[in-house]
Amino acid sequence: MAILITGGAGYIGSVTTELLRARGERVVVLDNLSRGHRDAVAPEVPFYQGDAGNRELIEHVVHEHDVKACIHFAAFAYVGESVSSPALYYENNVEQGIRLLGALVQANVRHIVFSSTCATYGEPQRIPIDEQHPQQPTNPYGWSKLFIERIMSDYDCGYGLKFVALRYFNAAGATPERGERHDPETHLIPLVLKAAHGEIDRVAVFGNDYPTKDGTCVRDYIHVTDLAQAHALSLDYLRAGNSSTAINLGNGQGYSVLEVVNAAREVTGREIAIEMQQRRAGDPSHLVADAAKAGAVLGWKPQHPELADIISSAWKWHTKRSSAQA
Ligand SMILES: NC(=O)c1ccc[n+]([C@@H]2O[C@H](COP(=O)([O-])OP(=O)(O)OC[C@H]3O[C@@H](n4cnc5c(N)ncnc54)[C@H](O)[C@@H]3O)[C@@H](O)[C@H]2O)c1
């Protein structure tokens, strides 16, 4: 009995694969390596290079490994790219997602944990954001995730598919072995650490006139191992026969861009230059989760809620990787 992990060669998928294996679960990874890294998956893990929407391949993998559940990470996840190239997002995230769900239902796999996002909420009407907050995405990336949530609800009614849609806020941090490696990198913490390491000159800060404590945007950062743990608990939840649901994953605490930069200066002991730029269109001032439901429903509690711990884990991984490459 195995768990199929799509997108398992990516950042969050590879850390979740690592955690599930440590828990004694059998896992199979499927990733087309469009944005992931083969070496992020341990060589002992069965690995298939292919598309999440390749129905024949999915059916083959399910039968070969007796797959009983799927964690679906595979997607493109750049908000800006989704605005300039929406077809890429609807084809990769929605079209392929539909084909994956169809193949899973066909093969009688009825438990899905899905990587959704706080981007499905759009401009916040209240902070913190709970799961009842209206979902009105402001970009194709957010819509692509919301469409899959919607389709899974209908497949629940029609085919008995049971799912947990995990709406992540900002994943960050690393394990000693695995961390964030996006190209291009757009996430704040890895960019700040690249600046600390001298790989980039400075970090752009988009807007310092927001209605926040220091004028810069406030975001909710969650340690990637806490995220991974929530996936394991979601599988337990589904295996116990519970109904489909959507759950926020965040710390419930917001940090401004300048707070992140200052915390990184402290953790690394390095100077980190910043450059103030204009606001970016569509960036809300605050995005902070109400994650009470994850505690109540899954029994989940973040083990590494402190920003300094999150940054420190990412810094250790970053410096180890850079010295290994040197
Ligand atoms: N990183 C975050 O802060 C964050 C926040 C909210 C939601 N998410 C969601 O979590 C998931 C994982 O994010 P991540 O940061 O690890 O991204 P990532 O890009 O590191 O990982 C995604 C992986 O999926 C693979 N992939 C993409 N499309 C595929 C396809 N059609 N078939 C097979 N493989 C495919 C890529 O090669 C990559 O390895 C994504 O679905 C993303 O939308 C991430």
Question: Quick check: CB of 18 below 6 Å from ligand 1?
Answer: no
141 is catalytic: yes
pLDDT of residue 325: 77
Q: pLDDT tens for residues 192-212?
A: 999 999 999 999 999 999 999
Question: Quick check: CB of 7 below 6 Å from ligand 1?
Answer: yes
Catalytic residue among 48, 141, 210, 221: 141
pLDDT of residue 270: 96
Question: Quick check: CB of 115 below 6 Å from ligand 1?
Answer: yes
Angstrom distance (rounded) from CA 102 to CA 99: 5
Looking at the CA of residue 54, tell me the nearest atom of ligand 1: 32
Q: Name the residue of 4, 17, 34 to mutate for ligand 1: max ligand atoms within 8 A of Cβ.
A: 34
Question: Quick check: CB of 13 below 6 Å from ligand 1?
Answer: yes
pLDDT of residue 322: 79
What one-letter code names the amino acid at 79? V
Query: What distance in angstroms lies between residue 11's CA and the mean position of ligand 1's atoms?
Result: 7
pLDDT of residue 13: 98
Q: Which domains does the chain have, with CATH numbers?
A: 2-171+222-249 (3.40.50.720), 188-219+252-325 (3.90.25.10)
Sheet holding 162-168, edge to edge: 47-49, 27-31, 2-6, 67-72, 111-117, 162-168, 245-249
For residue 315, count other CB atoms closer than 10 A to its CB.
Answer: 23
Q: pLDDT tens for residues 31-46?
A: 999 999 999 999 999 9
Question: Quick check: CB of 96 below 6 Å from ligand 1?
Answer: yes
Ligand 1, atom 18, lies closest to the CA of 10
pLDDT of residue 99: 98
Q: What is the DSSP string of 246-315?
A: EEEES-S--EEHHHHHHHHHHHH-S---EEEEPPPTT--SEE-B--HHIIIII----S---HHHHHHHHH
Model confidence, pTM: 0.97
* Phi, psi angle pair for 273, to nearest 5°: -80, 140
For the chain, residues with pLDDT lower than 50 are none
